Structure 1
Amino acid sequence: MPAPRKIKFAAAIAAAPLLVAATGTASGADPFLWLEDIHGERALQQVETWNAATDKTLRAMPGFETDRAAAFSILTDESHIAAPGTVMGDVVTNLWRDKANPRGVWREASLASFTAGKPEWKTLIDVDALGKAEGKSWVWHGADCLAPEYVRCLVSLSPGGSDADVVREWNRKTGTFVEGGFTLPQAKSRVTWADADTLLVATDYGEGSLTTSGYPRILKRWKRGTPLASASLVKEAGAQDMGLGVFTAMDAKVRRTFVTVNKSFYTKDMWVEGKDGKLIALPLPESADFEGLIDGKLIAFLNKPLGTHPAGALVSWTLADILAGKPGEPVSVYAPEKSQAIESVTTTDHALWIKLLDDVSGRLLQLVPRDETTWSVTTVALPDNATISLDAAADKADMAFVTAQSFLQPPTLYAVDASGTPKALQSLPAKFDASAFTLEQHFATSKDGTRVPYFLARKKGTSGPVPALVHAYGGFRAAQTPTYLTTEPYRAGPLAMFWVSDGNAYVLANIRGGGEYGPAWHDAALRENRQRAYEDLYAVSEDLVARGISARGKIAVSGRSNGGLMAGVALTQRPDLYGAAIIGSPLLDMKRYSHMLAGASWMAEYGDPDVPGDWAFIKTYSPYQNVKKGTHYPAPFFYLSTEDDRVHPGHARKMAARLQGYGNPVFYHEYREGGHSVGADPAEDAVRAAMLHAYLKYNLEGVRPAS
């Protein structure tokens, strides 16, 4: 499709005229269906109208330009941590963004210089320069370099930030794209190296080659120098499956290829490639997750119990037995305690690394195999009560790179060596005086008696109810853990820091549907039990009121994607409790979500609205269907991207139109680039942070634009 015309930093409010009647039709048909025409002239005219109106209001708010400049300075500060992307043998790669390179520079440094804390960087690809030279708005999606030489690379670039990208072969030794090399046109491709002259490719092969979720369902083997059309079939998934994938994993010096058919978001069948390309089925249950290879063992995470092994545990099979067709029973590797959850796992040549949550605080474990059935376990000495992210690992050196941070503690990057000893490599300079604030963890009691944790940041000495911003997600096993207040990833950069600096409260709620306490915490809010996640949110918000921290009508709810659905539900179900709602890249029309872009892939989470029994429970919370004429709703702020090819922009557009059509004020900010993550570069992210701060002040503090 042609590159979209870009609108410069815009948004919307109630004064913007609605370009269609909002009272429905005699037949009951959706009067706003035309807003699902993503690039339709009429739909984009409405978007521009909304955008211009809110742009006018929020840019005129006191402090907007100061906030924008401060956010941009923070987001482009060259003192930010150069986090490792991947480790390729003795080389560490990093994607570096700053003021001069908002789209990023992909670069490398030797592992030795990086772990010494003095990396000597060499530029590989300047994404900004490449985009300028080629006349494309490229957004970096990563590179897959063929191990163990790491010379031949498959570089993925997205035009404008959509999930679909272009794949091009690049030579790390020459520093150039390979003339006549492997190239795939824009699609949601899944591709990996079979060998130096062969790819395994799942992509859009034309009519009938995609699933109903919009992902590839046909995997082929493509030989160098031949047309893609002549590639040979390897595996085919069904049209109703979610999609088909392919990837490789290293077991020390041995490289293995795996194929998956994702039957739903949470179930899959998997195969490992044996001799002569034969696919051998793995013994993993369809609900289990592959985590890596180590010492000839295949490691898997159990989302459901398996025999005597509980859900949430790690188990292993011997890969040689699998390849021989005699996998046998799995062996226990690690089982967390009741208050704990395994959040992520990675392997190096001789060690297994586990990022563990314990009452939502992070720990890092190093496991080393002693024999076929037992492991030695070391708890790495990292800061207490911190969020730990497992960033990358160096296979041959048996080293893990982790970042530790909290609301008030700036991120510090550590290298953890083979002995389990951490070494601080780089710390982000403090962006504010942490001694002026407090960080607390509380537990609210949900409607069914479940204890729901939440983190609270506010100024010391705060007394009396103050406006509060509550962020949550509550879905897809994704745990929410506190990060530094200037870098909250889904909260528009430094928005949280702006908010607490005003003397207000910032809250991160760990509602059910996420992975904070393992699979059971997620499963408790699946499908017909979705309302539990929302009851958890309300319990946290009401706990703020009960503790005197905030007050009804002075609380804003915030969420993005599935969290945007949550915020939309809170808006429609509890307008008495909330005074504002930040709704990012949201699902909102749950009657049609499964027919919009990748929506069909999430039916395992929400249910199928075309099945009457499922719609019976979905319709009780679907925000778009639950907007009622005559009800006063707090003014929401919708932010999203036209080029989001995961969650359809029609959700937010239609919700805004329906609310406004019933006389409710609406703020609206639709970027024309950025994909599902919305902002395509720090300049856009900085504007969003300033706009959201202005929006919160407008709705919760009563601040008005300068006259």
Structure 2
Amino acid sequence: MNRFSSSRVLCASVAALALSVAPARAATVTSPPYLDEITGARALDFVKARDAHTLDVLTHDPRYAGFYKDALTIAQSHDRIAAPEQLNGQIYNFWQDADHVRGIWRRTGVASYRTGKPDWTTVLDLDALSASEHANWVWKGADCLEPDETRCLISLSDGGEDAVTVREFDLATNAFVPGGFALPGAKQSADWLDRDTLLVSRPWRPGDLTDSSYPYIVRLWHRGTPLNVATEVARGTKQDMEASGESFTDGQGHHVALIQTAHTIFSSSYALLENGHTTPLDLPRKSDIQGLLDGQLVVRLNEPWTANGQTFPTGALVAVDPTQPAPKPELIAAAGPRQMIEGAAVTKGHVLVALYDNVRGTVVSYARGSDGWRGRRLALPGDVSVSITSSTIRDDDAFIGVSGFLTPPELWQANARTGGLNRLVAMPPQFDAAGLTVDQYEAASTDGTKIPYFLVHRRDMAENGTNPVQLYAYGGFQISMTPRYSGTLGKLWLDRGGVYALANIRGGGEFGPAWHEAGLNVHRQRVFDDFAAVARDMIARHVTSPAHLAIRGGSNGGLLMGVEFTQHPELWKAVVIEVPLLDMVNFETMSAGSSWTGEYGSVRDAAQRAFLEQISPLQNLKSGVRYPVPFIMTSTKDDRVGPVHARRFAARMDALHLPYFYDEQVEGGHAAGANLREAAQEAALEYTYMWRTLDGAP
């Protein structure tokens, strides 16, 4: 991506479930070394055998065919809102459907888009490009040179990896530029300095990557010169996470180029790049830049900052002139104790802020006046999630996305200057929400902290402990889980009488940076306790019981699922573990794992290693324990977390003679699904697994 009300008292039977024994020191686990060879023959044989078992069982379940059909119909529906991207005075959109499996990049005029039935022109066809180049290109976005926005850098991935190729594209001719900028595939970044110069960060020679597997050397590459003679302008270290260049342009014609050196995933230093030379900027390390307006950087603070005799709170949004030797920041907006600034976008003369109050979203437009910054709240629907879908420095028009659990996505056009709003289009319902309602509750965690969660259910839901519940959470990296519409969830779960719960556990950003920091590294047990507390609260309310409870999470949420699987096997019947981290004793040496030590800690620190050993799912699988039968899902092409975590966990389950389902898709990267068909198949498999497991199928 939500939640609230309160109940602290557990009945005796639920209180018994709350008792847990602190795990002993983790066992040493040795996995078959061939599993580490991502595309090795023996590793792929291991994968194919387990995939075959999963597909044989789940695709022959009578529910699967209908689930797949419904999920694919929803994914490929032409009633989906075509998300706008404002470029060069027109509207662009990337689109996938049954006829465009890999997708097309297309455009239309603003007036045509406003009709709700745009007349689209195809700009780039990835299916045709893939066929002509014998590749499987996955769209990774376009970066177009401001303010003209006629030349773009298009990033394409082979099968969904984070590694990309970058090519220059001309919007005037709808074609790649002959002899234009082209970067071969790698983990890299590129941004425009001007029409004939790029800021490029990539592995210039073998080994030019950080321990986190990202580039750290930034060079200027001039048009018409060989890539290998690009001029170095900045260099981080192998111990940093990454170094990259980025440029900003505003509606008043100011241009700022910056070098960002990410020391960890949460801390960075910035330098101003002028005439090939860098000057450090005095910004807090825990901050991120949202844009440029009237020559001032718009900066979100993730820690308190004292500058020019004034202290700005954590979570605030400030404006800073990067050319001043000593910063004199101005406060744009500050978040209250139960609020969170999710992000900001810049128009020609305003800053649009997505603000959440108790996990319910709204948008505020801020303008700078003679007496400081003043905000105007836009009159959008309440009790929803909001997203600033698109903005432009050409004018003050922007597009706002609105969505809720039972509110199909809507697209609003907003004017940041006047506050005017116009609802352009609303997606038709993809499931029957009549009779459904949303409640918000609180659960008391182990340390007494109130953890909010949402419950989506039928109004006439019986409080008898037998309702099938799917509980979802993420709990990391300051990422917020907010109410959003999902046709697949509605059709495959809610329509069949299922209850959906979304937990706002610590580690996320729902209440700002402090909510996130409460669950960092050795404090992460709070995150796991929060999740279990929500489950117990639902059990105490007689919404469900362990025999009827499924849990699901991916990536960092996959780690959460692995920990809950090993720490509280008695609390759940079905556990879906998607693209997970599961070997926390060795995660730093796997794929991009070293980049996450700021979140999880490091085994190089004795106290942090002891904690990681204590919670690592792989090392805490034990014989003689009655575990649920999980569904483990990953992707061979995932070069971020990587499939090795899931493979090692499966191998350990084998060694302990424990049953499980396993699905490793070849393509799709960390998103696990390179196209809509693969995504629909994965959804059908997971929902089939959850329903058959809660129904008591073997």
TM-score with structure 2 setting the length: 0.93
**Does 1:587 pair with 2:581?**
yes
SS of the equivalent of 2:408 reads: coil
Aligned to 1:311: 314
Q: Say whether 1:633 aligns with 2:627.
A: yes
**Equivalents in 1 of 2:327, 2:495: separation in Å?**
58
Note the alpha carbon deviations across 1:428-465, whole angstroms, 9 max, x for none: 10112211211111111111111111111112212122
Contact 1:485 / 1:496 at 8 angstroms: preserved in 2?
yes
How far apart, CA to CA, are the structure 2 residues paired with 1:28 and 1:350? 59
Match of residue 644 from structure 1:
638
Name 2:47's counterpart in structure 1. 47
Query: Hey, what does 1:8 align to over in structure 2?
Result: none
Paired with 1:118 and 1:686, the residues of 2 have a C-alpha distance of: 26
User: Partners in 2 of 1:66 and 1:251 — Cα distance?
Assistant: 50
Q: CA deviation at 1:497?
A: 3.5
CA distance in 1, matches of 2:661, 2:604: 31
- Contact 1:189 1:204 survives alignment (8 Å): yes
**CA shift at 1:618, angstroms?**
1.2
Conservation of the 8 A alpha-carbon contact between 1:473 and 1:559: yes
Deviation per residue, 1:391-445 (Å, 9 max, x gap): 1112222122111111111000001013112111111101122112111111111
Which residue is 2:544 aligned to?
A: 550
Q: Does 1:610 find its partner at 2:604?
A: yes
For 1:653 and 1:120, the matched residues in 2 are separated by 47
Give the whole-Å Cα distance in 2 for the aligned partners of 1:348 and 1:283.
Answer: 25
Contact 2:31 2:648 in 1 (8 A): no
**Segment of structure 1 superposing worse, 402-411 or 189-198:** 189-198
| Residue number in structure 1 paired with 2:341 | 342
Q: CA deviation at 1:31?
A: 3.2
Q: CA RMSD in A?
A: 1.4
Q: Which residue of 2 aligns with 1:471?
A: 472
The reply to whether residue 515 of structure 1 matches residue 513 of structure 2 is no
Matched with 1:114 is 113
Q: Deviation at 1:648?
A: 1.6
8 A contact 2:349–2:395 mirrored in 1 = no
Assess if the C-alpha contact under 8 Å between 2:342 and 2:354 holds in 1.
yes
In structure 2, relative to structure 1, the CA distance for the partners of 1:380 and 1:203 (3 Å cut) is: same
Change (3 A) 1:63 1:208: closer
Residue 64 (structure 1) shift: 0.9
Pair 1:131 & 2:134 matched = no
1:285-324 pair list within 5 angstroms:
285-307=284-306, 308-317=311-320, 319=321, 322-323=322-323
Asked whether the 8 Å contact 2:432–2:495 carries over to 1, the reply is: no
Gaps (5+ residues) in structure 2? 1-26
Pairwise mapping of residues 363-512 of structure 1 onto structure 2 (< 5 A)?
Answer: 363-371=362-370, 374-417=372-415, 418-463=417-462, 464-465=464-465, 466-486=467-487, 494-512=488-506
Deviations 1:613-655 (A, max 9, x none): 2101111111001001111210111111100000020100110
- Spell out, residue by residue over 1:3-50, the C-alpha distance to the aligned partner (whole angstroms, 9 max, x if none): xxxxxxxxxxxxxxxxxxxxxxxx966133321211111111010000
Q: Which residue of 1 aligns with 2:13?
A: none
Give the alignment of 1:35-74 within 5 angstroms. Answer: 35-74=35-74
> What amino acid is aligned across from residue 474 of structure 1 in structure 2?
G
Tell me by how many angstroms 1:118 deviates. 4.5
Give the corresponding residue for 1:205: 204
CA distance, structure 2, for counterparts of residue 648 and residue 153 of structure 1: 30
Counterpart of 1:6 in structure 2 is none
Deviation digits for residues 560-598 of structure 1 (CA, Å, limit 9, x no counterpart): 000000000000000010111111100000011000110
CA distance in 1, matches of 2:61, 2:152: 48
Answer yes or no: is the 8 Å Cα contact 1:403–1:413 preserved in 2. Answer: yes
d(CA) in 2 for partners of 1:589 and 1:350?
48
* Partner Cα separation in structure 1 for residue 366 and residue 513 of structure 2: 22
Distance 2:546 2:48 in 1: 33
1:145 corresponding residue in structure 2: 144
Residue in 2 aligned with 1:236?
235
1:51-109 Cα offsets, whole Å, 9 max, x none, are 0011000011122101111110110001100111x322312211011110021111112
Matching of residues 156-167 of structure 1 within 5 Å:
156-167=155-166
Aligned pair count reads: 664
Tell me which of 537, 560, 566 is aligned to 1:566: 560
SS of aligned partner of 1:673: coil
Q: Counterpart of 1:104 in 2: which secondary structure?
A: strand
Amino acid at match of 2:236: A
Q: Is the 8 A contact 1:89 1:394 kept in 2?
A: no
Post-superposition offset of 1:150:
1.7
Letter in 1 for 2:260: T
Counterpart secondary structure, 1:434: coil
The structure 1 residue matched to 2:683, chosen from 679, 689, 697, is 689
For 1:338, what is the secondary structure of its paired residue?
coil
On the 8 A contact 2:233/2:277 being kept in 1, the answer is no
TM superposition score normalised by structure 1? 0.92
SS of residue matched to 1:280:
strand
Matched-pair identity in %: 39
Q: Secondary structure at the match of 1:201?
A: strand
Displacement of 1:207 in angstroms is: 2.5
Partners of 1:495 and 1:689 within 8 A in 2: no
Shift of 1:112: 3.4
- Which range moved further: 291-300 or 91-100? 291-300
Structure 2 counterpart of 1:490: none
- Structure 2 counterpart of 1:44, one-letter code: L
1:15-26 matches, within 5 Å, as none
Which is further off, 612-621 or 519-528?
Answer: 612-621
SS across alignment from 2:240: coil
| SS at structure 1 position matched to 2:640 | coil
